[in-house]
Structure 1
Amino acid sequence: MNAIKGILNVLNLAEKLKFEMRHSWLSNGRQESVAEHTWRVGLMAVLLEPYIEESMDMAKLLKMIMIHDLVEAEARDIPAFDTLYDADRKEQKRLAEHAAMKNIEAMLDEAPGSDLRQLWLEFEAKETFEAKVANALDKLEAQLQHNEADMETWLEVEKEMIYLLSPHTAFHPVLEELRKAIVADAEAKLHVR
């Protein structure tokens, strides 16, 4: 396959993330796109890097963040609350995302496609330090965005989900501190209502 043609195919697919909407709403009342979410997760990593003392491969972390939702260009965004208590829906989402990643991998030359897939699988497994950080930031950004949105956009289940972030951040004090600040903002918003 022509390498440039494959890259263009992935970029054309990725453009869909600019109009694939998440359940989250912005402070101006507009719905958030997947691309906007991904961008801010990356910004969070850049801003927090100086405070994470452990050895961390920042290039790998940013790559993981950039591609973690790429599958949603094909498999669509499924809100976390849709799979929270529905194992069948969660499995359907997993299968659709794996199929999408196989298609994305096939668009690229063998080595770059395989590398992309391995990064995505590493994020999904949440076992390496970079994958844990990427996952934590992904979850925290979603809550941060909810905090910035009008309360009328919140579903009842999202008020419960505020308290489900700790398993994603407990492994690191800086991420735990950020989680506590984001939760405090969410609680303040709930009590103001």
Structure 2
Amino acid sequence: MVTIPQLQAVLDVLRLAERLKFELRHSYTSSGRQESVAEHTWRMSLMAVLMEPYLDKSIDMAKLLKMIIIHDLIEAEAGDVPVTEMMRNPALKLIKQQREIEAIESLRMRLGEPLGQEIYELWFEFEEKITYTARVANAFDKLEVQLQHNEADISTWEDIEYDLSFMMGRHVAFDANLELLKDLIEAQADQKMRAAGADTVAIRTRVLG
């Protein structure tokens, strides 16, 4: 039987999660505004639902969706640090990691046993990217980011994002159909960059060698 303190903890975390509706990411939408963390997570979840029948292996869909929904929940406390900023300043990666660990430990304490521990373990499984489920979740994370960039006006792209468009391969190499999806999304990016006058052959050569 659930207790009032357990339900209150759930409400507290839902209240915290509301911040993700206005915690902005670097990516822009096709309408010209910055997207929120919550919007990114929602489309990752939809991507999982639509791609699940086409994955190379069967997967625990409930676990996959939990992992996707939870993976950015800690940004309600830790905030979002764009990968472009971490590439310019590698020290930010360590700061980000420490803040996120503190945030997931805080969530575990808020929710208590057993729910807090489940969320804690799912978050670390995603971060470690060892299991098939975690690797699929990570692939959707990277693919959704690029898909959103493709839909944004290219004037919002930073120079490094031209290179990042061709760097998704290592995130999908374990699954043939995710590689095909990556190829389609990459082709969209290539077309968008060429339309803007970019030499995508030179960019691809620089990135991939």
User: TM-score surpassing 0.5?
Assistant: yes
- Deviation digits for residues 62-87 of structure 1, max 9, x if unmatched? 00000000010011011111223533
Q: Tell me, in whole angstroms, the C-alpha distance in 1 between the residues paired with 2:22 and 2:151.
A: 20
* Gap regions ≥5 residues in structure 2: 197-209
- Confirm or deny that 1:107 pairs with 2:117: no
1:30 maps to which residue? 33
Partner SS for 1:163: coil
Larger radius of gyration: 2
RMSD: 1.0
Normalising by structure 1, report the TM-score.
0.97
User: For the residues of structure 1 that align with 2:132 and 2:56, how far apart are their CA atoms?
Assistant: 12
In the alignment, structure 1 segments of 5+ residues that lack a partner are none
Paired residues for 1:1-193 under 5 Å = 2-84=5-87, 86-193=89-196
1:145-191 Cα offsets, whole Å, 9 max, x none, are 00000011101011111111111011101110011111100010001
CA distance in 2, matches of 1:161, 1:92: 22
Percent identity over the alignment is: 51
How many residues align? The count is 193
Normalising to structure 2: TM-score of the pair? 0.90
Q: Distance in 1 between matches of 2:141 and 2:175?
A: 15
Runs of 4+ in 1 over 4 A off after TM superposition: none
Alignment correspondent of 2:200: none
CA offsets 1:23-52 (integer angstroms, 9 cap, x no match): 000001111000000000000000001111
